[in-house]
Structure formats: C-alpha cells, structure tokens
Amino acid sequence: MESDYPPTDPRVDALVNELIGRVADKWTLLILEVLEEGGVMRFTQVGRAVPGISQKMLTQTLRAMERDGLVTRTIHPVIPPRVDYELTPLGHSLSAAFCGVWQWAEAHLEEVEGARSRFDAAKVSD
C-alpha cells in the first residue's frame, strides 16, 4: 500500500522517535512545564516543583534535556555551587507543542474519565 505522504529523511524519523521517547517520559514533560512557568531556576527549585522526582532522576532528565538542546545549564562559581537551568528557544518550542496535550486533556477530561469508568465496570462484569 502506497502512502500519500512524501518519503521522509531517515534521520528525521530517528529524531522523532527519540524525542517522542524523551517527552513521553513524564519527568521530561513535567520539567518542561516547570521551566516554562518558572523561567531560570536552580536545581533545587526544579526538584521541589516536580513532586516525587528523585535527585538522581532529576539529574538524569536535566542532562538528557541539556544534551538535546532543550535546556541550558549555568554553573556559577560561588560557594556553595549554584547551578541554574533555563529552557532554550528549542525547549520553549517543544513546550509550546505539548501545550496542546494539556489543552486537550482539560477539554476532554470528563469524557476520558467516563470512558474509563464504563470500561472498568464492563471488565468487572465479565
């Protein structure tokens, strides 16, 4: 079956798959949201703003986001050390793209909850 879409660059396909894997991770999405709302934030502030995230997971997620060009990490030469994180323009653009997910969830919350309730009730009676 032929596709109506033009062929894509395999590098673009790979990047899309990697980014979906990255942003599908709940920590990345939550950190994107926190930095979008909070602007420049210290490591500890980001950690406090993301409930349930461990320091290890916060470090891993921020490093992966930095590698992908989504955040900048600024180390200030003070004692104790201070590290700030901020979304890059690339990070802001990804955040804007995923803003639609929140808008969709807000608009369809009751429908999804109703569908889940009906499904769960049907499973109990099976």
- Which residues partner with 69 through β-bridges? none
- Residue listed under structure tokens 């210290």: 42
Q: Which residues pair with 73 in a beta bridge?
A: 85
Task: Provide the pLDDT for residue 10.
Answer: 80
Please give the structure tokens belonging to residue 107: 């608009």
Question: What tokens were used for 122?
Answer: 């049907």
pLDDT at 1 over 60: no
pLDDT digits (tens, 9 = 90+) for 50-103: 999 999 999 999 999 999 999 999 999 999 889 999 999 999 998 888 777 778
Q: How many CB atoms lie within 10 A of CB 64?
A: 15
Give residue-wise pLDDT tens across range 6-29.
777 787 777 777 777 766 678 998
| pLDDT of amino acid 22 | 67
pLDDT of residue 11: 79
